[in-house]
Amino acid sequence: MPDPETGTFAEGEPLSLWLASAGTTAYPELSGSLDVDTAVIGGGIAGLTAALALKRSGRTVAVLEAGRIGTGVSGHTTGKVTSLHRLAYTALERSHGKAAARIYGLANQAAVEHIADLVAQENIACGFRRVQNYTFAEDDRTLPAVREEAALAASLGLPATFTADVPLPFRAAGAVRFEGQAQMHAVQYLQGLAAAVDGGGSFVFEGTRVLGLRERTTVAVAASHGTVLASDAIVATNVPFGDHGRFAALCRPHRSYIVAAPVAGPPLDATFISAGEPMRSLLTVGLGGVTYLLTGGEGHPTEEQVDPAPRYAALAGYAHSRFGAAAVAYRWSTQDAIPKDGLPYVGPLNADSRHAFVITGLRKWGLTNGTAAALIVADLLNGTPNKWASLFDSNRAALAPGTREAGGTGPARPKDAVSPGASRMRIAELASGDGMVVDTEGGSTACFRDDAGEIHAVSAVCTHLGCTVGFNRRDRTWDCPCHGSRFDVEGKVIQGPATEDLPPRTAS
Task: Please pick, from the candidates 480, 489, 493, 502, the single residue that binds ligand FES as defined by CB under 6 A.
Answer: 480
Rule CB under 6 A: say whether 69 interacts with ligand FES.
Answer: no
Which of the stretches 32-40, 197-205, 212-220, 481-489 binds ligand FES when contact is defined by CB under 6 A? 481-489
Distance of CA 342 to the CA centre of its chain: 15
Which of the stretches 107-115, 417-425, 438-446, 483-491 binds ligand FES when contact is defined by CB under 6 A? 483-491
Rule CB under 6 A: say whether 483 interacts with ligand FES.
Answer: yes
β-pairing, 129-137 with 270-274? parallel
> Is the torsion defined by CA of 472, 475, 476, 481 positive or negative?
negative
Which of the stretches 204-212, 271-279, 431-439, 476-484 binds ligand FES when contact is defined by CB under 6 A? 476-484
In the complex, minimum distance from the CB of residue 302 to ligand FES, in angstroms, rounded to a whole number: 9
In the complex, minimum distance from the CB of residue 482 to ligand FES, in angstroms, rounded to a whole number: 4
In the complex, minimum distance from the CB of residue 446 to ligand FES, in angstroms, rounded to a whole number: 12
Rule CB under 6 A: say whether 311 interacts with ligand FES.
Answer: no
Q: What are phi and psi of 318, to 5 degrees?
A: -65, -45
- Count the residues in the chain: 508
Quick one: angle between helices 366-382 and 98-121, nearest 10?
A: 90
In the complex, minimum distance from the CB of residue 417 to ligand FES, in angstroms, rounded to a whole number: 16
In the complex, minimum distance from the CB of residue 244 to ligand FES, in angstroms, rounded to a whole number: 12
Task: Please pick, from the candidates 156, 462, 489, 493, the single residue that binds ligand FES as defined by CB under 6 A.
Answer: 462
Q: Which is nearer to ligand FES, 248 or 375 (CB)?
A: 248
In the complex, minimum distance from the CB of residue 465 to ligand FES, in angstroms, rounded to a whole number: 4
How far is it, in rounded angstroms, from Cα 210 to Cα 215? 14
> Which 231-270 positions form the footprint of ligand FES (CB under 6 A)?
248
Non-local (6+) Cβ contacts of 127 within 8 A are 183, 184, 185, 188, 285, 286, 287
Rule CB under 6 A: say whether 467 interacts with ligand FES.
Answer: yes
In the complex, minimum distance from the CB of residue 335 to ligand FES, in angstroms, rounded to a whole number: 10
In the complex, minimum distance from the CB of residue 69 to ligand FES, in angstroms, rounded to a whole number: 23
Task: Please pick, from the candidates 43, 267, 342, 497, the single residue that binds ligand FES as defined by CB under 6 A.
Answer: 497
How far is it, in rounded angstroms, from Cα 198 to Cα 185? 20
How far is it, in rounded angstroms, from Cα 262 to Cα 458? 40
Whose CA is closest to 96, among 343, 420, 321?
343
Rule CB under 6 A: say whether 302 interacts with ligand FES.
Answer: no
Q: What DSSP assignment string belongs to 366-414?
A: HHHHHHHHHHHHHHHHHT---TTHHHHBTT-TT--S----TTSSPPPPP
| Cα–Cα distances in angstroms (integers) from residue 2 to residues 5, 205, 261, 328, 329, in the given order | 9, 42, 12, 9, 13
Q: Which residues of 38-71 are buried (b: 16+ CB within 10 A; e: fewer)?
A: bbbbbbbbbbbbbbbbbbeeebbbbbbbbebbbb
Q: Which is nearer to ligand FES, 242 or 267 (CB)?
A: 242
Q: Which is nearer to ligand FES, 252 or 355 (CB)?
A: 252
Rule CB under 6 A: say whether 491 interacts with ligand FES.
Answer: no
Rule CB under 6 A: say whether 498 interacts with ligand FES.
Answer: yes
In the complex, minimum distance from the CB of residue 65 to ligand FES, in angstroms, rounded to a whole number: 19
Q: What are phi and psi of 119, to 5 degrees?
A: -55, -45
Rule CB under 6 A: say whether 485 interacts with ligand FES.
Answer: yes
Interface residues with ligand FES (CB under 6 A) are: 248, 462, 464-467, 480, 482-485, 497-498
